[in-house]
Amino acid sequence: MKKHTKIYCDYFGIGEQDVVMCEWCNKAIAVDINHIEPRGLGGKNPSKDVIENLCAMCRYCHWRFEQKKISKKVLKERHLKKLRQ
C-alpha cells in the first residue's frame, strides 16, 4: 500500500475490504487516493502526503480532475468539509 493511501485509510479507519465512494460524484467506488495539490513531476514531496491534501476518487472523476474539468478549489472545499464531519 502506498504511503499516501495508508495515511488516508488510517485517518478514516478504512480496512482493505471496505468500500469507499468517490468524494466528487459519490456514485462510483473510489479506486484512487488522489493528491489535490500534486507532489510534483517525477519526485516525491512528503509535505503533500497529509490528509488535507488526499481525497478518494473514482477513475473517471480522477481523470476529469487531471484534465482540469473539476475545479481544484471546489474539490479541496468538499474534501475539507468531509474532514470536519
Q: Which grid coordinates belong to 74? A: 471546489
Domain tally for the chain?
1
CA 39 to chain centre: 13
pLDDT for 85: 87
**Residue 62's pLDDT band (cuts 50, 70, 90):** very high
Question: Model confidence over 6-45: pLDDT tens digits?
Answer: 999 999 999 988 999 999 999 999 999 999 998 875 556 6
Averaged confidence pLDDT in the chain: 91
User: Domain of 23?
Assistant: 3-84
Kindly report the length of the chain.
85
Residue 45, helix vs strand vs coil: coil
Residue 47 has pLDDT above 70, yes or no: yes
| Beta bridge partner(s), residue 29 | 21
Q: Virtual CA dihedral for 77, 81, 83, 85, nearest 10 degrees?
A: 180
pLDDT at 66 over 70: yes
